[in-house]
Amino acid sequence: MEFKRIQFTPDLLPGDITGGYVFEIEKNRFTLRKGPIFTNILLADEINRASPKTQSALLEAMQEYQVTMEGETLALVQPFIVIATQNPIEYEGTFPLPEAQLDRFMIKLAIGYPTPEEKDEILLRRSERKQDLVDLKAIISPGSLLEMCAAVEDVYIDPDVRRYMVELAAKSRRHQQVAVGVSPRGSLALLKLTRAWAAIQSRDYVVPDDVKMFIQPALSHRIILDSSLWDTKKSENAIISQIADSVAVPVLTPKMNNKTLTIGLIIMLLLAAGLASRSGDIVWLIILFLAYLGSGFLQAPEREKLSFTANRSLDQTRADGIWSFAVNLNIRNESPKSANFFFREPIQPDIKITDGKLEKWAALSPGESTDLKYSFSALRGNFT
């Protein structure tokens, strides 16, 4: 995926981000020169150092994924992701982001300082790397990422969990210490984040704990505190925590599985037979039926686990002391239902792929298989 970085400064202009039309004397016409916003991943470094006019150049792009110049609308490449940084100190000469733009960012994270263990790992990696620059290697293609985003749309959300997200946003608008509460974009952010997290956890459904995990990063930057709190130590995170504690977390009631339902029906037939025969004591049948019926609601529904088989074949040839390898990885869906699979081959960073790709996303029906093929060259014994 293509990556571009913009260093935001007070003299940065909107045209420096979006681009514009330039007159070419040789051709006697205006030609469009696209700006750095036409990329997959855009890093807006120190975004609050630019003027509000320049910051607004990102509004249309972050919401509609398009840019309008001279009355012409140009679609941005997909996927399109904006990552922005702000310096938590040195506020002189900065311009706070307007609420409409803050609302367009899905999450807000504070990186902070690394732990002592992480610092030691940083030094260790630098010593082993023997250079300051880090060689980055793509691990996914734009097409694969778009397919993964499409698969996330199939993740199920219970109506109670949806209403939980809505109530969190509504509660923020009724809070006495909040001047401006969470907008509908906040609830949509929770929806998207929890679905993606559930898919990462190999689940096709969202649970309330997923929502609780993303309440702070998804909602804290979307509220404006009352002016009476400006001189206090209360932060947006503290208010969001209060709101989260005041909203009841839904308790999902699983449906009866087929086994319990079948047993319950059998007991009902026995109960009817007992009544028909006017047997003296049928209390034990009623108790037994209620016990099985209750266990059906308490027992979580049986979910089919995904299973697959992977077979790898390797063909190797040698020429002029260099080994060439052709790898074929066959993935077969052994599950009784269709499923989406994403798999990636781990390989050393210094190994150069000469053909094919290292990752693949595929929707496989039961018993269906697909192949991942790639080739590389290396000195024998130089790789694992």
Write the pLDDT tens digit of every residue in 95-104.
Answer: 888 888 899 9
Give the model's pLDDT for residue 331.
Answer: 83
Q: Is 281 left (phi over 0), alpha (psi -120 to 50) or beta?
A: beta
Give the model's pLDDT for residue 231.
Answer: 67
| CATH code, 3-105 | 3.40.50.300
CA dist., res. 224 & res. 241, Å (int)? 15
> What averages of pLDDT result for each successive group of 10 residues across the chain (384 residues)?
92 92 87 92 93 90 91 91 85 82 91 90 92 85 89 91 94 89 93 93 90 93 83 80 89 59 62 56 56 50 60 78 79 79 68 76 81 75 48
Element (H, E) at 283: helix 283-298
Q: How far is CA 14 from the centre of its chain?
A: 29
Q: Which two tokens stand for residue 185?
A: 């974009």
CA dist., res. 384 & res. 359, Å (int)? 18
Task: Yes or no: say if 202 and 152 are a contact pair by the CB < 8 Å rule.
Answer: no
β-pair type (41-45, 3-7): parallel
With CA atoms as reference, report the closest residue to 244 among 183, 175, 157: 175
Peptide bond into 208 cis (omega under 30): no
Write the pLDDT tens digit of every residue in 102-122.
Answer: 999 999 998 888 999 999 999
Q: Does domain 142-246 have CATH number 1.10.8.80?
A: yes
Give the model's pLDDT for residue 15.
Answer: 92
Give the model's pLDDT for residue 333.
Answer: 84
Write the pLDDT tens digit of every residue in 253-291.
Answer: 655 455 555 666 666 666 666 655 555 455 555 555 555
Give the model's pLDDT for residue 36.
Answer: 94
The Cα diameter of the chain in Å comes to: 106
Q: How far is CA 73 from the centre of its chain?
A: 28
CA angle 294, 297, 298 (to 5 degrees): 85
The SS3 call for residue 139 is: coil
With CA atoms as reference, report the closest residue to 215 among 237, 246, 184: 237
DSSP class of residue 203 equals -
The SS3 call for residue 373 is: strand
Q: Which two tokens stand for residue 87?
A: 């310096």
CA dist., res. 273 & res. 299, Å (int)? 28
The one-letter code for the residue type at 38 is F
